[in-house]
Amino acid sequence: MTATLQQRLRPLIRGGDHSLADLAVGTAAVAVAARYLAVLFVNAPGYGAPVAPGLATGVSTAVVAVAAIAVAVTDADPLTGVGLLFVGVFGLLSLVSSAAALPAATAVVLGTATVAAVAGRRLDLVSAGATALLVAALSVGLASGVGGWTGLRPAASTVALLGVASTPAFAATDWRSLSTADWGAVLGGLAAFAVVLAVGRAVPFVAGAVTLTGSGVVGTSLPVVALAAAGAVTTASAASRTRRWTLLAGVALVAFAGVPATLPRALPFALGVAALTAREGQP
C-alpha cells in the first residue's frame, strides 16, 4: 500500500522527496512547540493562552499525523514508510473516536519500532542504543497511559527524559575523536543542566508544575530533568550550527512532546524518533 502511494505521489512532488518530508517534520515541530506553550500559559497564574489548550492539542496532533503520512509516502525505504503510515493513519483515527485509542497506541509502538529497526542497520552502536531507549520510552509511556498501567508512570517519565538526554548521539559525527566534538554545543548543554538544576532547587514548586503540565513528568528526580534539558540543548545547538534542520525538528518533537503516555504526546515522540534517525550525521 505504501509503495503504491509513493509511486502515485512522487511525480506530483516538486523539489524532491526530502524537501517535502523536511517541511512536514518542521511544521509538526512548530505545532507541537505551540501546543506546549499554550498548555504552560493557560496554567500560569495571571496569564491566558490565546488558543484553548484542547484545541491546540487537537490541531497539533492532526498536523503531526499528516506529517507522518507525508514522510511515509516519500521515504525511499518501504518498511519505514509502512511504519510511519501506521503512526499517521492511526493517529488520525484516534482523533475521530476514543475507541481507537488502544489500537492506535499499539500501531504507534509497532510503527516506530519498525522505523527504528530499519534505521538500526546503518546507525553506529551509540546512536542505535539511543534509538532503542527512545522506543522503550514510547512503549512504557503508552502502557502507563493508554494501557492503564498507571504504576509505570514514574518509570515512563524517567525513561522518556533519559531518551531525550541521549539525543546528542545523533548529532555526533565521530564518537572516536574528541577533536570533532562540537564543544560550543556541549558547553550549551552543560549550562542548561546547571540552570535547570539551580532553578529547580530554588523554586521546586514552579519547576514541578512546569514539568507536570508541560511535559507530563511524574515521579522523576530533578537531575534527570536537568539531564534531559542538557541533551536537548546540546542536540539543538549542534543541529543549528551545522544546519541539520531535520535533526533540529526531531529533537524539538521529542523534547516538546514530553512523556508519551497519551496519543497526543506519543505521536510527535514517534515522529521525532523517525526524524532523529533519518539520514543521521548528514547536513
What is the pTM assigned to this prediction? 0.89
Instruction: Render pLDDT for 227-269 as a digit per residue (tens, 0 to 9).
Output: 999 999 999 998 988 888 999 999 999 999 999 999 999 999 9
Close Cβ partners of 157 (under 8 Å, ≥ 6 residues apart): 216, 217, 218, 219, 220, 259
Q: Which pLDDT value is given to residue 45? A: 66
Alpha-helix runs per DSSP H in 14-124: 17-43, 53-74, 78-96, 101-120
Q: Which pLDDT value is given to residue 33? A: 94
Domain limits of the chain? 2-277
Q: What is the rounded radius of gyration, in angstroms, for the C-alpha atoms of the chain?
A: 18
Q: Which pLDDT value is given to residue 42? A: 74
Instruction: Render pLDDT for 106-154 as a digit per residue (tens, 0 to 9).
Output: 999 999 999 999 998 888 889 999 999 999 999 999 999 998 899 999 9
Dihedral sign from CA coordinates of 97, 252, 39, 149 = positive
**Higher-confidence residue: 130 or 173?**
130
Instruction: Render pLDDT for 202-223 as a digit per residue (tens, 0 to 9).
Output: 999 888 888 988 899 998 999 9
